[in-house]
Amino acid sequence: MKKILIVDDDVVIVRLVESFLLSKGFNVISESDGLSAMTTIKKENPDLIILDVILPEINGYDICYVLRFEDKFEHVPIILISERDKEIDEEIFEKTDIEYLQKPINTEILLEKIKHLLKIN
Protein backbone atom coordinates (compact mmCIF):
# COMPACT_ATOMS: atom_id res chain seq x y z
CA MET A 1 0.00 0.00 0.00
CA LYS A 2 1.51 3.31 -1.13
CA LYS A 3 1.91 6.03 1.51
CA ILE A 4 0.91 9.57 0.57
CA LEU A 5 1.59 12.68 2.66
CA ILE A 6 -0.80 15.62 2.25
CA VAL A 7 0.50 19.00 3.45
CA ASP A 8 -1.96 21.89 3.52
CA ASP A 9 -3.04 24.37 6.18
CA ASP A 10 -6.64 24.20 4.89
CA VAL A 11 -8.25 21.37 6.89
CA VAL A 12 -11.15 21.10 4.43
CA ILE A 13 -8.80 20.32 1.56
CA VAL A 14 -6.83 17.86 3.66
CA ARG A 15 -9.99 15.98 4.71
CA LEU A 16 -11.39 15.94 1.16
CA VAL A 17 -8.20 14.59 -0.40
CA GLU A 18 -7.54 12.26 2.53
CA SER A 19 -10.97 10.62 2.37
CA PHE A 20 -10.77 10.31 -1.43
CA LEU A 21 -7.34 8.66 -1.34
CA LEU A 22 -8.29 6.35 1.53
CA SER A 23 -11.27 5.20 -0.55
CA LYS A 24 -8.81 4.36 -3.37
CA GLY A 25 -6.70 2.19 -1.07
CA PHE A 26 -3.82 4.51 -0.22
CA ASN A 27 -2.26 4.93 3.21
CA VAL A 28 -2.60 8.67 3.97
CA ILE A 29 -0.89 10.92 6.49
CA SER A 30 -1.27 14.68 6.76
CA GLU A 31 0.40 17.78 8.13
CA SER A 32 -0.71 21.41 8.28
CA ASP A 33 2.62 23.27 8.15
CA GLY A 34 5.98 23.00 6.47
CA LEU A 35 8.06 22.34 9.55
CA SER A 36 5.89 19.41 10.68
CA ALA A 37 5.90 18.15 7.09
CA MET A 38 9.71 17.99 7.01
CA THR A 39 9.74 16.00 10.25
CA THR A 40 7.05 13.61 8.97
CA ILE A 41 8.80 13.13 5.61
CA LYS A 42 12.01 12.08 7.34
CA LYS A 43 10.15 9.79 9.77
CA GLU A 44 7.53 8.25 7.45
CA ASN A 45 9.32 8.12 4.07
CA PRO A 46 6.18 8.72 1.99
CA ASP A 47 5.93 7.35 -1.55
CA LEU A 48 4.41 10.63 -2.76
CA ILE A 49 3.82 14.13 -1.35
CA ILE A 50 0.90 16.45 -2.10
CA LEU A 51 2.15 19.86 -1.04
CA ASP A 52 0.52 23.28 -0.82
CA VAL A 53 2.68 26.20 -1.97
CA ILE A 54 1.68 28.64 0.79
CA LEU A 55 2.26 27.09 4.22
CA PRO A 56 3.11 28.29 7.73
CA GLU A 57 6.74 27.86 8.88
CA ILE A 58 8.31 26.60 5.61
CA ASN A 59 6.66 27.12 2.22
CA GLY A 60 6.14 24.41 -0.38
CA TYR A 61 8.93 25.65 -2.67
CA ASP A 62 11.50 25.52 0.09
CA ILE A 63 10.42 21.98 0.97
CA CYS A 64 10.79 20.96 -2.69
CA TYR A 65 14.29 22.42 -2.92
CA VAL A 66 15.40 20.75 0.32
CA LEU A 67 14.05 17.36 -0.75
CA ARG A 68 15.60 17.54 -4.23
CA PHE A 69 19.04 18.02 -2.67
CA GLU A 70 18.75 15.13 -0.19
CA ASP A 71 19.74 11.80 -1.72
CA LYS A 72 17.15 9.89 0.29
CA PHE A 73 14.25 12.04 -0.97
CA GLU A 74 15.37 13.40 -4.35
CA HIS A 75 13.18 10.94 -6.27
CA VAL A 76 10.02 11.17 -4.12
CA PRO A 77 7.25 12.43 -6.44
CA ILE A 78 5.69 15.75 -5.43
CA ILE A 79 2.42 17.32 -6.54
CA LEU A 80 2.38 21.03 -5.70
CA ILE A 81 -1.08 22.52 -5.20
CA SER A 82 -2.04 26.18 -5.21
CA GLU A 83 -5.09 28.40 -5.51
CA ARG A 84 -3.43 30.90 -7.82
CA ASP A 85 -1.32 30.38 -10.90
CA LYS A 86 0.72 33.44 -9.97
CA GLU A 87 2.10 31.56 -6.95
CA ILE A 88 3.68 29.01 -9.26
CA ASP A 89 7.35 29.28 -10.17
CA GLU A 90 7.57 27.66 -13.62
CA GLU A 91 11.31 27.21 -13.22
CA ILE A 92 10.80 24.59 -10.53
CA PHE A 93 8.90 22.36 -12.97
CA GLU A 94 11.57 22.66 -15.65
CA LYS A 95 14.35 21.62 -13.29
CA THR A 96 12.56 18.84 -11.40
CA ASP A 97 9.95 16.12 -11.79
CA ILE A 98 7.44 18.04 -9.69
CA GLU A 99 3.82 18.16 -10.88
CA TYR A 100 1.27 20.94 -10.34
CA LEU A 101 -2.46 20.96 -9.65
CA GLN A 102 -4.60 24.05 -9.14
CA LYS A 103 -7.18 24.33 -6.36
CA PRO A 104 -10.01 23.52 -6.11
CA ILE A 105 -8.66 20.03 -6.54
CA ASN A 106 -10.27 17.81 -9.13
CA THR A 107 -9.88 14.41 -7.44
CA GLU A 108 -9.98 12.45 -10.69
CA ILE A 109 -7.12 14.51 -12.17
CA LEU A 110 -5.26 14.13 -8.87
CA LEU A 111 -5.71 10.36 -9.04
CA GLU A 112 -4.41 10.30 -12.64
CA LYS A 113 -1.30 12.24 -11.60
CA ILE A 114 -0.72 9.96 -8.61
CA LYS A 115 -1.06 6.81 -10.72
CA HIS A 116 1.32 8.27 -13.30
CA LEU A 117 3.94 9.31 -10.74
CA LEU A 118 3.74 6.04 -8.79
CA LYS A 119 3.54 3.97 -11.99
CA ILE A 120 0.24 2.35 -10.99
CA ASN A 121 -2.10 0.97 -13.68
The string of pLDDT tens digits covering residues 13-46 is 999 999 999 999 999 999 999 999 999 999 999 9
What percentage of the chain carries pLDDT values higher than 70? 89
Distance CA 98, CA 65 (A): 11
Cβ-in-10-Å burial (0-12, 13-18, 19+) of 32 comes to: middle
Stated pTM of the model: 0.92
**Cα–Cα distance between 55 and 114 in angstroms, integer?**
22
Nearest 5°: phi and psi at 37? Answer: -60, -45
pLDDT, residue 90, reads 65
CA separation for the pair 92, 13 (Å, rounded) = 23
- CATH of 3-118 among 3.40.50.2300, 3.40.50.150, 3.40.190.10, 3.40.50.300: 3.40.50.2300
Q: How far apart are the C-alpha atoms of 84 and 66, rounded to whole Å?
A: 23
Q: Is the pLDDT of residue 84 over 80?
A: no
